[in-house]
A and B are shown apart, each in its own frame.
Chain A
Amino acid sequence: MPDRPGRGASRHRPPRVGLIVNPIAGLGGRVGLKGSDGEGMAARAIELGAEPKANHRAAAALRALVSAWPSGLPAPELLVAPRSMGEDAVREVGLAPDFSVDVLPDPADGPTTAGDPTTAGDPTTADGPTTADDTKRLATRLAGLRVDLLLFAGGDGTARDVHAGLLGTHAGGATGRAANGGDLPPVLGIPAGVKIQSAVYATSPAAAGRLAAEWLASASRKTEEREVLDLDEAAYRRGEVRPALHGYLRVPAERRVQDRKAPTPPDESVAFAGIAEAIVEQMGRAADGMRWILGPGTTVRAVADRLGVPKALVGVDVVEWREDGARLVAQDGGEQAILRALDGRSARIVVTPIGGQGFLFGRGNQPISPAVLRAAACGRAPRDTLIVVATPGKLAALGGRPLLVDTGDDRLDAELAGHVTVVTGHRDRAVIRVAVA
């Protein structure tokens, strides 16, 4: 009976863990189809001889969770999706009796939302296909049951569906605070899909299980917001990598073993605060009435938070700075709304690269279009209007690779290429190469 009212997190009750498996995730990879999203792709993969593996990967994560669970703490209570969407993985593991398992009712029995075009047949069960909608509905359901952690096995598409499902539980839509994942239950991805761009996945199923156990057992349960990215699979099959930012989810912060020579750095919030301080100081030195275009992402949101204005986490806002404070002049605007907000005046553009590939323009912040870049520059070089912000950790993850631009305007891309100064902290800057994608 999973429909008990949720309880707040407490150290004395068993933690509640939700599990959703996208049974067809990863099918396309081995047979060269680059993903299973899109109608008919799963069936096509099976035809080509693909074997469903997502349940085995989820089972591997559960095994690691069980073996890493500290003795003496009450074992987690698992709330799993039915059949091939979670139940099968649990059966494969054969959990010890102290791990209680509740199987949720079939998602199809719940209230339905509009049909999803990416519906794909479930090849693993005789009792009807699973769909992207099922993932969304189950995520909504598990959020309502106040799980302490939602594990899901799949790929980028699955992360996107989980994100959509969780958002569905909240008013506010993509522009409100809920889009940042701040009020949503923490999640952790078990990698089982072909494409994994999203930063919400652990590095392996075993790593996911272990991290889940350590995090649930820890006193602080610290989380971090991570990007949900998805590629356009049709473009990906043509060889183009086009990740788009869909939102943010909260994931357990990994507590890594302490180093003996260098201390672990304080968490990201310290870097965010330093960056925000640097930008706000810069605003203070600029002309009164100057417009500041704020791109998407948690790093830029820190600037808005510091200014006390709301921020569309996956959208673009325009702020006007005056000595007596900052004022929002366009919220979550498209290209035209931003151009109207600039009103012919020059502006500065604050952007952060999207994690993973390090796209500066062309992924997730399309409203900052070539027209906007040129309008903001007001005849000067567009790159002089840019203020790129990123934490040192985000730059480190690039491993020396350049930031990428793909605005859709080749001449503009060429103008933006070169080296750019990135604000990485209050008195910290980095010089990073920008290349045309």
Chain B
Amino acid sequence: MTAADEAPATVGGSAASVPSARPHVSHRGPAEAVAGTSSPHAIAPKPFPRRFHQASWDEPVIFELSTPGARGVLLPPIEPGIREAVGNPAADLPAGVGRARPPQLPELAQLHVLRHYDRLSQENLGVDLNIDVGQGTCTMKYSPKVNEGLVRSHKLAELHPLQDESTVQGILELMWRLERFLAEISGMDRVTLQPAAGSQAIWTNVAMIRAYHASRGEAAARDEVVTTIFSHPSNAAAAKVAGYRVITLYPDPETGHPSLDALRAAVAERTAALLVTNPEDTGIFNPEVDAFVRVVHEAGGLAAYDQANANGILGITRARDAGFDLCHFNLHKTFSTPHGSGGPAAGACGVTGELGPFLPAPTVERAADGTFALDHDRPQSIGSVRPWYGVAPNLVRAYAWIRSLGPDGLRAVSETAVLNNNYLLAKVLEIDGASAPYAAGKRRIEQVRYSWETLAEATGVHSEELGVRMADFGTHYWTSHHPFVVPEPMTLEPTESYSKADLDEFAAMLREVAREARETPETVHSAPHASTIHRIDPSWFDDPERWAVTWRAYLRKHGERRAAEAGRAAAGVSASHAADA
């Protein structure tokens, strides 16, 4: 049954008068008309909120789809001539590297593999599918599809990192130029493109800070790193992994950023570095950041700027201009490459000339004759942070994105992102129960951490629940890192990619969900109703007896229960349906 089948015969009726015929939206209550939704639609009326329903395939894990002996590709037998010429290639492997038994990989035909992943892709949300302004701090922007054509070209896809440098001059030049662009954007002298994520870039910066102090005989004396509670927690985490004690500054209740006095109380001769995000996760820019850097420098420490998200400041302000010694960008945020969801994304670290010797090796260098080469001979380098040199496809995407915009275009990106954010801020603050703590009446940069505290106190509905309910309208939002310094938080970041209509629709959905929290709170508590995944039980993540990050671990910890379920399934009752009943 299509939407047209069940729509009332009248075409162009007002949104508010269109009853919802589908059972899955009947819980929504009276729809609220918003500007634009009452215009006549030729095919069927389009009520607000949209009658979203996500696919739910109830798809098993791919290991459970395995059929012994099934194959995706049947390889032809090796021709005798080849066999004779090559012999047994495995014979040269050192003892101990071969497996005694083959890996337990799932066995499936091509169709079943394709179908499995197509189904999973339908059970997803992402920047290409929804109004993705709710994933605050992640800078969800459009990644131009033309760039995908570039990275799929055989010219890139078939390169191998062990090729002779003379045969890969093109990609080396591209990397060298991208480094120069990022050096210009940040004001830094040198850049590395090796890290595959923002957190890894922060780690790389921390490793360079440690190496710098070690080179001056101060590694042991400087054992503290200062950060702020609204800086991304990877700053504290990377410092701790490197063995530092971490001192966190909390915001001043008025301005939303820490005071200079708090910083002075934290900085001492033990300070190795300050690691900060600015604007912080609240979208508030610390205007005293240059003074912060000065205080740290006076104590002999270094200052590193987490510019993972630089979307509000491109062409407006630079890390170096505030005195920072190091910085990093997430190319998968500001520079539009895909995020990779913990897979290969791309981070870039920028440093001053003084820290250049500590950069990860190899570096890309241009010789006097204009040729490019990888320099592995860097005695003070922290070493390699990733095999080879960076995630090449993402470097191509970021390069193409920067080239297509130019300096004025980059600045226009930030101006548009900031305008969008402040427009959405005004719309959200119109909703009863929403607020934007700190810096009252001031504009924000590229994102805002809102609070639903008033609504939660009045209704008992938590921000996380509102975010889940948003899934019934085809979107979602993220709350904040822990601990929740802003109570009942919601972090929204509308980048330059979204239209005014998108932002209006998102704000109207928030308003609708807030209304439900007041009038029909059970609808929100029991959400989602029209989404793929319903509630998950987070207690698993706290419980080593139950958590499992591999299929093998899952079977080890849950094998018995699975066998019991399989028994029930064989008896004619699907375990999952029995659980739902």
Question: Which residues of A are interface residues toward B (Cβ below 8 A)?
Answer: 64, 67-68, 72, 202-207, 210, 218, 220, 255-267, 392-393, 395-401, 418-421, 424, 427-433
Q: A210-B460, A264-B482, A267-B542 are in contact. Are A429 and B468 (CB under 8 A)?
A: no
Of the candidates A68, A202, A257, A392, the one whose C-beta lies within 8 Å of that of B465 is A257
Q: Are A432 and B535 in contact (CB under 8 A)?
A: no
CB neighbours (8 Å) of A428 from chain B are 236, 245-246, 248
Given contact pairs A399-B486, A428-B236, A428-B246, enumerate 10 new A-B contacts (beta carbons under 8 Å).
Answer: A204-B459, A258-B464, A260-B478, A267-B542, A395-B250, A396-B229, A419-B261, A428-B248, A429-B245, A431-B262
Of the candidates B456, B525, B538, the one whose C-beta lies within 8 Å of that of A255 is B538
Interface 1/0 per residue, B206-236 and A, CB below 8 Å: 0000000000000000000000010001001
B575 at interface, CB cutoff 8 A: no
CB neighbours (8 Å) of A68 from chain B are 525
Cα distance A428–B247 in the bound complex, in angstroms:
6
Size of the B side of the interface (Cβ < 8 Å), in residues, is 59
Q: Are A396 and B483 in contact (CB under 8 A)?
A: yes
Of the candidates A205, A257, A400, A424, the one whose C-beta lies within 8 Å of that of B485 is A400
Could you list some 30 contacts between A and B, CB below 8 A? A67-B522, A72-B581, A203-B457, A204-B460, A206-B460, A210-B460, A256-B462, A256-B464, A257-B462, A257-B464, A262-B479, A262-B482, A264-B542, A396-B484, A396-B485, A399-B253, A399-B486, A400-B250, A400-B485, A419-B264, A419-B265, A421-B247, A421-B265, A428-B248, A430-B247, A430-B248, A430-B249, A430-B250, A431-B250, A431-B266
Shortest Cβ distance from residue B518 to the other chain A in the assembled complex, whole angstroms:
11
Shortest Cβ distance from residue B503 to the other chain A in the assembled complex, whole angstroms:
21
B357 at interface, CB cutoff 8 A: no
Cα distance A395–B249 in the bound complex, in angstroms:
11
Q: Are A400 and B246 in contact (CB under 8 A)?
A: no
Q: Are A260 and B476 in contact (CB under 8 A)?
A: yes
B28 at interface, CB cutoff 8 A: no
Question: Which residues of B are interface residues toward A (Cβ below 8 A)?
Answer: 135, 137-138, 229, 233, 236, 240, 244-253, 256, 258-259, 261-266, 437-438, 456-460, 462, 464-465, 467-468, 476, 478-487, 521-522, 525, 535-536, 538-539, 541-542, 581
Name which residue of chain A comes closest to B488, CB basis: A203
Q: Are A401 and B253 in contact (CB under 8 A)?
A: yes
Shortest Cβ distance from residue B445 to the other chain A in the assembled complex, whole angstroms:
19
Cα distance A204–B245 in the bound complex, in angstroms:
40
CB neighbours (8 Å) of A202 from chain B are 460
Name which residue of chain B comes closest to A419, CB basis: B265
Cα distance A401–B485 in the bound complex, in angstroms:
11
Q: Are B437 and A399 in contact (CB under 8 A)?
A: yes
Of the candidates B266, B457, B522, B538, the one whose C-beta lies within 8 Å of that of A258 is B538
Q: Are B482 and A400 in contact (CB under 8 A)?
A: no
CB neighbours (8 Å) of A424 from chain B are 248
CB neighbours (8 Å) of A266 from chain B are 542
Name which residue of chain B comes closest to A211, CB basis: B460
CB neighbours (8 Å) of A432 from chain B are 250, 262
Shortest Cβ distance from residue B520 to the other chain A in the assembled complex, whole angstroms:
12
CB neighbours (8 Å) of A220 from chain B are 539
CB neighbours (8 Å) of A264 from chain B are 482, 538, 541-542
Name which residue of chain A comes closest to B256, CB basis: A400
Shortest Cβ distance from residue A190 to the other chain B in the assembled complex, whole angstroms:
11
Q: Are B478 and A259 in contact (CB under 8 A)?
A: yes
Cα distance A395–B247 in the bound complex, in angstroms:
13
Q: Are A399 and B487 in contact (CB under 8 A)?
A: yes
Q: A210-B525, A257-B468, A257-B535 are in contact. Are A427 and B246 (CB under 8 A)?
A: yes
CB neighbours (8 Å) of A419 from chain B are 261-262, 264-266
Shortest Cβ distance from residue A301 to the other chain B in the assembled complex, whole angstroms:
21
Counting from the closest, the 6 A-B pairs by CB-CB distance are: A207-B460, A419-B265, A396-B483, A258-B538, A257-B464, A400-B253
Name which residue of chain A comes closest to B224, CB basis: A429
Name which residue of chain B comes closest to A72, CB basis: B581
CB neighbours (8 Å) of A421 from chain B are 247, 265-266
Cα distance A202–B542 in the bound complex, in angstroms:
23
CB neighbours (8 Å) of B535 from chain A are 257
Cα distance A205–B266 in the bound complex, in angstroms:
42
Cα distance A393–B538 in the bound complex, in angstroms:
19
Of the candidates A256, A427, A431, the one whose C-beta lies within 8 Å of that of B240 is A427
Shortest Cβ distance from residue A427 to the other chain B in the assembled complex, whole angstroms:
5
Q: A257-B465, A264-B538, A429-B246 are in contact. Are A203 and B456 (CB under 8 A)?
A: yes
Cα distance A256–B484 in the bound complex, in angstroms:
12
Shortest Cβ distance from residue B447 to the other chain A in the assembled complex, whole angstroms:
13
CB neighbours (8 Å) of A265 from chain B are 482-483
CB neighbours (8 Å) of B437 from chain A are 399
Shortest Cβ distance from residue B292 to the other chain A in the assembled complex, whole angstroms:
13
Q: Are B460 and A203 in contact (CB under 8 A)?
A: yes
Cα distance A206–B521 in the bound complex, in angstroms:
10
Q: A264-B482, A399-B485, A429-B245 are in contact. Are A258 and B541 (CB under 8 A)?
A: yes
Cα distance A260–B542 in the bound complex, in angstroms:
15
Shortest Cβ distance from residue B124 to the other chain A in the assembled complex, whole angstroms:
12
Name which residue of chain B comes closest to A222, CB basis: B539
CB neighbours (8 Å) of B249 from chain A are 430-431
CB neighbours (8 Å) of B245 from chain A are 427-429
Cα distance A393–B252 in the bound complex, in angstroms:
17
Of the candidates A204, A205, A259, A398, the one whose C-beta lies within 8 Å of that of B464 is A259
Cα distance A202–B457 in the bound complex, in angstroms:
10
CB neighbours (8 Å) of B482 from chain A are 262, 264-265, 392-393
Name which residue of chain B comes closest to A209, CB basis: B460
Q: Are B265 and A431 in contact (CB under 8 A)?
A: yes
Name which residue of chain B comes closest to A61, CB basis: B460
Cα distance A437–B535 in the bound complex, in angstroms:
44
CB neighbours (8 Å) of A392 from chain B are 248, 482-483
Name which residue of chain A comes closest to B246, CB basis: A428
Q: Are B135 and A261 in contact (CB under 8 A)?
A: yes
Cα distance A256–B479 in the bound complex, in angstroms:
12
